[in-house]
Structure 1
Amino acid sequence: MFTSSIRGAALAVAALAAFGVSCSTAPSDDRPTGGATSSAAAPASGSRASGSQPSGSASPEVTETAPPELVRDAFAGLQATLNDSCTPGDCAYFLGRVYDELHRMDRAMKADAKGPGHFPEPIALIAELDAKLGGDRSFENLKRNQTLLIGTRDKINTWMQGHPDDYR
């Protein structure tokens, strides 16, 4: 009985991991990917419309064998948030997504072959945001710091536009 429970749990984990990998391909709409390098997944679609706070990490842990995400791909995810806004019923999803995409960008820049020193301004902007948020990524805190969150996204977008070799 104990062995079958472990086997069942292992199969469930494998199925969820496979689902996570299949979801990490390029999205067909404007939702962020849920790849293995994401530290915090976007809220489940059920909580998106409810306005509840963004969920925590639902994606698999990063492993030593996972390749670093390309800055180009992370920047595309960040840019995909540019035409969205904090609308009633969608604000928690939007702010959580911007937060997630900024941190996806941060991880990609720090793992880039050029080194984190090549991206000093964007990395510093994200560090400044993180210091202000104090580790609290609840909807209430993101909403309270919405101007800083969106401003950080916009400043990084502007910086990246001035460095096209980093995303083409």
Structure 2
Amino acid sequence: MLDHMKGVRRAVAAAALLGAALVGCSTGGDGRADGAPEQTAPAATPATAAEPPPGPEGSEEPGGPEDPMSPGPEKVRDAFAGLQATLGDTCTPGAGDCAYHLGRVHEELTGLEAAMKNDPKGPGHFPEPLVWITDLNKSLDGDLSAENLEAHMKDLTGVRDRINTWMQDHPDDYR
């Protein structure tokens, strides 16, 4: 999942760069819409365009905590928001939407687990939710097929709902 997030972040950065280039093209190539002569500037090479921005002040390391290109789990509040987005959704076992819905609940739980384990407060700050997710994963035994997710539907939604209740009692962790 982290590799997927890296790819998504890189694609977003590339799209932003392409969008900026297209804006330049649509206004005369140099960003000017007044018809003034075009100024030439050295073009960025692919190698320099792909370099991540410099890190925190005085650091040569790329990417600080707010660097959108740096890999890493979501923050707990963002991961929890994704999980909460599944609260109003339901599905009927055997229907095509059920595999998607339960897969999404599992994916959101996995993201929340990673965020909790990597939170600056430490994984010990989230003992109950992490145990519930670990127990759920043991029950699923790595089988994320539609049939297995549907067989564990009550487990998936139960863990989701228990974590929602737990987090509501810990507002500092998601606000």
Give the shorter-chain TM-score range.
0.5 to 0.7
Q: Does 1:70 align with 2:44?
A: no
Distance 1:125 1:148 in 2: 10
- TM-score, normalised to structure 2, is 0.60
User: Do the aligned partners of residues 16 and 112 (structure 1) sit closer, same or farther apart at CA in structure 2, a change above 3 Å counting?
Assistant: closer
Partner of 2:133: 126
- TM-score, normalised to structure 1, is 0.62
User: Do the aligned partners of residues 15 and 100 (structure 1) sit closer, same or farther apart at CA in structure 2, a change above 3 Å counting?
Assistant: closer
User: Do the aligned partners of residues 113 and 147 (structure 1) sit closer, same or farther apart at CA in structure 2, a change above 3 Å counting?
Assistant: same
Q: Does 1:90 align with 2:90?
A: no
Give how far 1:19 is off: 5.2
User: Do the aligned partners of residues 159 and 21 (structure 1) sit closer, same or farther apart at CA in structure 2, a change above 3 Å counting?
Assistant: farther
Cα displacement string for residues 63-102 of structure 1 (whole angstroms, at most 9, x for unaligned residues) = xx41431000000000000000114331111000000000
The residue identity in structure 2 corresponding to 1:123 is L
Distance 2:160 2:136 in 1: 10
User: Do the aligned partners of residues 167 and 145 (structure 1) sit closer, same or farther apart at CA in structure 2, a change above 3 Å counting?
Assistant: same
Matches within 5 A, 1:1-168: 17-18=10-11, 65-87=70-92, 88-168=95-175
Distance 1:114 1:16 in 2: 25
8 Å Cα contact 2:84/2:164 also seen in 1:
yes
8 Å Cα contact 2:76/2:174 also seen in 1:
yes
8 Å Cα contact 2:79/2:112 also seen in 1:
yes
User: Do the aligned partners of residues 156 and 15 (structure 1) sit closer, same or farther apart at CA in structure 2, a change above 3 Å counting?
Assistant: closer
Total equivalences in the alignment:
114
The residue identity in structure 2 corresponding to 1:146 is M
Partner of 2:44: none
8 Å Cα contact 2:91/2:101 also seen in 1:
yes
User: Do the aligned partners of residues 138 and 158 (structure 1) sit closer, same or farther apart at CA in structure 2, a change above 3 Å counting?
Assistant: same
Structure possessing the higher radius of gyration over alpha carbons: 2
> Which one scores higher on RCO, CA 8 angstroms, separation ≥ 6?
1
Identity of aligned residues (%): 59
The residue identity in structure 2 corresponding to 1:80 is A
Runs of 5+ unmatched residues, structure 1? 1-13, 23-64
User: Do the aligned partners of residues 15 and 120 (structure 1) sit closer, same or farther apart at CA in structure 2, a change above 3 Å counting?
Assistant: closer
